[in-house]
Amino acid sequence: MSNRPIITRFAPSPTGMLHVGGARTAIFSYLLARRHNGKFILRIEDTDVERSKKEFESEILDSMKWLGLDWDADPIYQSQRFDVYRSYIQKMLKAGTAYKCWATPEELAAMREKATAHGKKPMYDRRYRNFTGTEPSGSFVVRFKTPLDGETILKDLVKGDICFQNQEIDDFIILRSDNTPTYNFTVVIDDYEMKISHVIRGDDHVNNTPKQILMMQALGFDLPEFAHVPMILGPDKAKLSKRHGAVAVSQYREQGYLPTAMLNALLRLGWSHGDQEFFSKDQMISLFDLSGCGKSPSVFDVAKLDHLNNQHMKAMDREELVNLLRNNYGTDLSTLLNGDASIKLFDALVERAVRLTDFKDLSAWYFEESFVRDQKTIDSNVSACPAAALEALKVQWQGCADFTGENAFACIKTVATEQALKIPVIAKAVRVLLTGTLASPDMGIVLAALGKDRAVERLSI
């Protein structure tokens, strides 16, 4: 690594929502900058006026904020920098590293046809490269004067060295006929002016990089480091897309995932630190390095995200989790934080919840007397238990002076012995009567949290 200050950037085009793939590049860029006390810049690449939309831009910014990827200084908008780009174009025209081209669409089509007929890659035939005559009237584009021979080596921090033959690279367009600069050009100017030390992006940009390197060299710019990270795949190993399900970060937010779990899951897609799976945000910052990035594409696995979400919920401060659930998901569990028995129940619910949206259903039996019961489960389990046993249990519980989870459960055992029944026969019936399901937390926890009166009452339902 050179000793330049670390400055990274995330450069989304606001032509769609923030996709998990984009978020992962943003995370890598953010972590590298934070790890080295550097800067993380957000640059909105909105030069495509037709496709760029304000609503996508706010969605991207919101998702970044939600993920906690705070950027330094105000976002930079490429659409406000056209003059800067055009001044560099003028410089290149003057220096002869770029030239105007008046080839018409028909001429270009004929070139393509000719190349294809000869089994060659369609390329512009460079007819205006050395043009010296009087400039024709009519619209023109500006093209980069790509060196005709030699090679350009991309020293990629993830992929290793990749060599490109310059003769394979077209004299590509840097300014369109409508006077707007192209992506490959704006990115070079911005990465230079913003003193970007590390360009981290998806490997779908690998083929753009030699063009960018050549322009940087032509302009006398120092090269940044490049790190191209492999694509994210769906479970069928095809590039992750909408048909695999949710791809936008905001969709995961709505589904009840924690931002830290999302960061953790996306970080682990393509980066590793030994076999550690769980990372707090502080650990991510202190451990991230580009040498931990893998070369091969990774599969986005929702089961892993689920697991991590549960782990991150468990790692959270209880109050913080309660506030988040109340403020963002309308589930108020605050009363559970009063008293040991209900705190135990709270922890048992966290143990079972996968998403933040699960708490509502998981805790309904505790908060509402008229919670939705699974009638089939009730019928089959309650009918398996003689009514007399439940009556006897009611008497036992009523007489129980110290209704702890342990004591209340001991009553179930006593009744089972007295009535010559197996403990699970009564325990299951009790469980479904009290909680509506067999998937509730440990009976001791349930009984202690509900307390004597509510438990007794529910036996009569």
- Residues at the interface with ligand GLU (CB under 6 A): 11-13, 45, 187, 201, 205
Alpha helices in 257-316 (DSSP H): 259-268, 281-287, 302-315
The CB-of-194 to ligand GLU minimum distance in angstroms stands at: 12
* Closer residue to ligand GLU, CB minimum distance, 11 or 325: 11
The CB-of-303 to ligand GLU minimum distance in angstroms stands at: 28
Quote the distance between the C-alpha of residue 192 and its chain's center: 28
Token readout for 234 is 């769906």
- Quick one: which of 29, 31, 34 has its CA closest to 10? 29
What does 408-432 look like in DSSP terms, one character per residue? HHHHHHHHHHHTT--HHHHHHHHHH
Q: How many CB atoms sit inside 10 A of residue 292's CB?
A: 15
Q: What angle do CA 387, 393, 398 make, to 5 degrees?
A: 130
- Quick one: which of 30, 27, 38 has its CA closest to 1? 38
The CB-of-11 to ligand GLU minimum distance in angstroms stands at: 4
* Closer residue to ligand GLU, CB minimum distance, 13 or 197: 13
* Closer residue to ligand GLU, CB minimum distance, 221 or 278: 221
Helix (H) or strand (E) holding 201, with range, is strand 198-202
* Closer residue to ligand GLU, CB minimum distance, 11 or 174: 11
The CB-of-123 to ligand GLU minimum distance in angstroms stands at: 23
* Cβ partners under 8 Å of residue 96, min gap 6: 145
* Cβ partners under 8 Å of residue 432, min gap 6: 373, 374, 377, 378, 381, 382, 438
The CB-of-257 to ligand GLU minimum distance in angstroms stands at: 23
Q: What angle do CA 131, 137, 140 make, to 5 degrees?
A: 65
The CB-of-196 to ligand GLU minimum distance in angstroms stands at: 10
Rounded-to-integer distance, Cα 293 and Cα 289, Å: 8
* Closer residue to ligand GLU, CB minimum distance, 22 or 436: 22
Alpha helices in 173-258 (DSSP H): 183-193, 209-219, 249-254
Rounded-to-integer distance, Cα 306 and Cα 300, Å: 12
- Quick one: which of 165, 139, 163, 143 has its CA closest to 153? 163
The CB-of-198 to ligand GLU minimum distance in angstroms stands at: 11
* Closer residue to ligand GLU, CB minimum distance, 185 or 365: 185
Residue 281 corresponds to which amino acid? K
The CB-of-22 to ligand GLU minimum distance in angstroms stands at: 7
* Closer residue to ligand GLU, CB minimum distance, 226 or 346: 226
The CB-of-77 to ligand GLU minimum distance in angstroms stands at: 12
* Closer residue to ligand GLU, CB minimum distance, 187 or 218: 187
The CB-of-28 to ligand GLU minimum distance in angstroms stands at: 11
Rounded-to-integer distance, Cα 94 and Cα 87, Å: 11
Rounded-to-integer distance, Cα 2 and Cα 224, Å: 9
